[in-house]
């Protein structure tokens, strides 16, 4: 198993073999799609007649109805992908602009597969229309109606949005905007998307394919989440009305929805399996986290050259911390932590709901998370400093506080690093929330205590530098008095030490002098005795 094969050959065999090459392309496993056995043909749908304005279709054969007889007049294609295309159109009966989504011309598909493809696409159109129609929310595109054309191809009429796909806007902004400006612009868009998801979850609907390209941003700030074609219900839909019950029954559930389904480079682990029974509302929370990850790093959580490798990473739950992935970017820690909490592979450890994700975004945007963290830091500092005196009393000249400091210095209970860390934490708290009212008081207390520690440690130069940073003139005077007393005491100790050394030296001289005198006396006595012995020896008879 290598870095590009995190799951291994055994698990890779369980992954689908018909994945697209592009890991950013939406995928739905058709082998598990239940439409073949369960599809309800779209009978009873209104037959819409359409015509196209001159040149609006790029020269393809058009409908024969005149504009006056048409239900919709198609003006130009405004979106295209897969087998679908979206037209700007005029709804003749109401004289308003709408968007009409329909299946592209399928005559290029082999004859033996055309009916099968058309039936599948009819099912998917009906599914998307019914799901989206249940979701009346400002950030979800309203569906107006569902019909078929003369060739029985489904047509979906919806609100016309003038704008651009969010993914295109991100790509335009990312290279040129400062991080703070970029996030301040795009995080509110993500919050709107998350609001749409939270509403869908309240209706028991899971989207399963959230990504920037599925979001339209209008000219006037509208944010609309589109493409609910992979959505499913995670709870039984019920209604008191027979018609609504029959329609709701066509919404896929975790028991019969296609799976694997989604975008491989963003998929939650539970989306990679052949059944959707593991999918919950937390699956969408994972996708919201993946979209935030993309904003922070410019890459997707399961970035890989191919879709199969992306899906392997998704199956294994492999996500690198955004601060490690984008070392060349400024990644706010609170947003990195929010993304990673949403991207937990284990659903039990993942953020529980879209509302929690929204709260995390709003806390960052409003500074609420910074305020909380700043207050937490200052609360911890208050506890640290209580050991230096009574409560938060910052008077360092009192005998009690001096005694406490002296004991700390003697026991080695605190060091210079302790005070350096305190000042560093205050700087961090100030960065998180400059208006924290406790910052000024605590900084004064730390500086006063730090200066007192420097005095007790005999580092008078440092104590004077710290005193210059203290605003309270009374405290500065007390510290200067402490320094003067400590220096005087130090001078007295030096004088006493010098006198002690001089006395010891004199005593040593006397001892050495006495020892030398005794040595000389001893040598003289030895010489006298030797002389006597020699004299006695010279007067004796040699024959005796």
492-511 pLDDT, tens digit per residue, is 777 777 777 777 777 777 77
Per DSSP, the three-state class of 538 is helix
- State the number of CA atoms in the 13 A half-sphere of 77 facing the CB: 13
> How many Å apart are CA 114 and CA 118, to the nearest integer?
6
Q: What region does 125 belong to: left with phi over 0, alpha with psi -120 to 50, or beta?
A: alpha
CA 442 to chain CA centroid, Å, is 30
Contact 132, 192 (CB under 8 A): no
Domain 1-24+162-366: CATH superfamily is: Transferase(Phosphotransferase) domain 1 (1.10.510.10)
331-390 pLDDT, tens digit per residue, is 888 899 999 999 999 999 999 999 999 999 998 888 877 888 888 888 888 888 776 554
> Given this model, what pLDDT does residue 387 score?
64
Q: What is the pLDDT along the chain (544 residues), one digit of tens a residue?
A: 344 444 444 444 477 777 777 787 777 776 544 444 444 444 566 777 777 775 555 434 445 455 556 788 888 888 776 667 888 899 888 888 999 988 776 554 444 455 666 677 777 778 888 888 888 899 998 888 888 877 777 888 988 888 889 999 999 999 999 888 999 999 999 999 999 999 999 999 999 999 999 999 988 889 999 888 889 988 765 554 444 555 566 688 888 888 888 899 999 999 999 888 899 999 999 999 999 999 999 999 999 998 889 999 999 988 999 999 988 888 888 899 999 999 999 999 999 999 999 999 998 888 877 888 888 888 888 888 776 554 444 444 444 455 555 555 555 557 788 888 888 999 988 888 887 888 888 988 888 888 888 888 888 888 888 888 888 888 888 888 888 888 787 777 777 777 777 777 777 777 776 677 677 667 776 777 777 777 776 655 544 4
Structure tokens at 491: 């001078």
Q: Does domain 34-160 have CATH number 3.30.420.40?
A: no
Contact 90, 96 (CB under 8 A): yes
The contacts of residue 67 (CB under 8 Å, 6+ apart) are 51, 73, 92
267-285 pLDDT, tens digit per residue, is 999 999 988 889 999 999 9
> How many Å apart are CA 291 and CA 111, to the nearest integer?
40
64-84 pLDDT, tens digit per residue, is 455 556 788 888 888 776 667
Q: Give the global pTM.
A: 0.70
Q: Residue 289: which of 310, 269, 309, 261 has the closest Cα?
A: 269
Number of C-beta neighbours around residue 132 at 10 A: 24
Contact 101, 89 (CB under 8 A): no
> Given this model, what pLDDT does residue 39 score?
47
Task: State the chain's mean pLDDT as an integer.
Answer: 79
> Given this model, what pLDDT does residue 512 score?
78
Sheet holding 96-103, edge to edge: 50-52, 72-81, 84-91, 96-103, 154-159, 143-148
> How many Å apart are CA 262 and CA 355, to the nearest integer?
22
């Amino acid at each position: 198993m290598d870095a590009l094969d995190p799951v291994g050959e055994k698990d890779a065999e369980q992954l689908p073999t018909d994945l697209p090459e592009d890991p950013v392309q939406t995928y739905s496993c058709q082998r598990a799609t239940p439409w073949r056995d369960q599809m309800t043909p779209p009978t009873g749908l209104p037959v819409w007649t359409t015509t196209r304005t001159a040149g609006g279709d790029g020269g393809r054969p058009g409908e024969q109805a005149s504009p006056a007889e048409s239900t919709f007049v198609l003006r130009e294609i405004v979106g295209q992908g897969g087998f679908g295309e979206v037209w700007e159109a005029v709804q003749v009966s109401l004289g308003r602009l709408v968007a009409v989504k329909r299946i592209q011309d399928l005559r290029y598909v082999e004859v033996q597969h055309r009916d099968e493809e058309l039936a599948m696409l009819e099912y998917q159109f009906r599914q998307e229309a019914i799901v989206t129609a249940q979701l009346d929310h400002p950030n979800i595109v309203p569906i107006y109606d569902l019909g078929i054309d003369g060739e029985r191809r489904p047509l979906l009429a919806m609100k016309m949005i003038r704008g651009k796909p969010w993914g295109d806007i991100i790509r335009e902004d990312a290279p040129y905007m400062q991080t703070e400006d970029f996030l301040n612009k795009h995080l509110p868009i993500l919050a709107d998307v998350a609001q749409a998801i939270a509403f869908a979850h309240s209706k028991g609907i899971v989207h399963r394919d959230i990504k920037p390209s599925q979001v339209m941003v209008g000219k006037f700030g509208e944010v609309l989440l589109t493409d609910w074609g992979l959505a499913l219900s995670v709870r039984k839909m019920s209604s008191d009305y027979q018609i609504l019950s029959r329609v709701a029954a066509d919404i896929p559930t975790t028991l019969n929805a296609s799976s694997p389904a989604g975008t491989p480079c963003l998929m939650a682990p539970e989306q990679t399996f052949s059944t959707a029974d593991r999918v919950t509302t937390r699956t969408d929370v994972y996708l919201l986290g993946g979209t935030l990850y993309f904003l922070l790093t410019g890459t997707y959580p399961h970035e890989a050259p191919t879709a199969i490798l992306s899906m392997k990473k998704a199956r294994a739950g492999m996500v690198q911390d955004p601060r490690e992935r984008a070392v060349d970017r400024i990644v706010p820690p609170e947003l990195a932590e929010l993304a990673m909490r949403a991207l937990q592979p284990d659903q039990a450890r993942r953020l529980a709901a879209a509302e929690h994700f929204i709260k995390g975004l709003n806390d960052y945007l409003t500074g609420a998370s910074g305020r909380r963290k700043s207050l937490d830091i200052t609360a911890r500092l208050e506890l640290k400093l209580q050991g230096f005196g009574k409560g938060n009393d910052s008077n360092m000249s009192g005998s009690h506080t001096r005694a406490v400091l002296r004991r700390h210095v003697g026991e080695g209970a605190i060091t210079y690093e302790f005070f350096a860390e305190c000042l560093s934490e205050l700087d961090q708290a100030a960065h998180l929330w400059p208006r924290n009212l406790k910052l000024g008081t605590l900084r004064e207390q730390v500086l006063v205590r730090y200066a007192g520690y420097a005095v007790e440690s005999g580092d008078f130069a440092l104590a004077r530098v710290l005193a210059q940073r203290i605003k309270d003139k009374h405290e500065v005077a007390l510290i200067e008095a402490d320094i003067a007393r400590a220096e005087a005491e130090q001078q007295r100790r030096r004088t006493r030490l010098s006198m002690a050394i001089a006395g010891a030296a004199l005593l040593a001289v006397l001892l050495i002098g006495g020892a030398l005198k005794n040595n000389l006396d001893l040598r003289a006595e030895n010489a006298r005795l030797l002389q006597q012995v020699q004299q006695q020896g010279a007067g004796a008879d040699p024959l005796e």
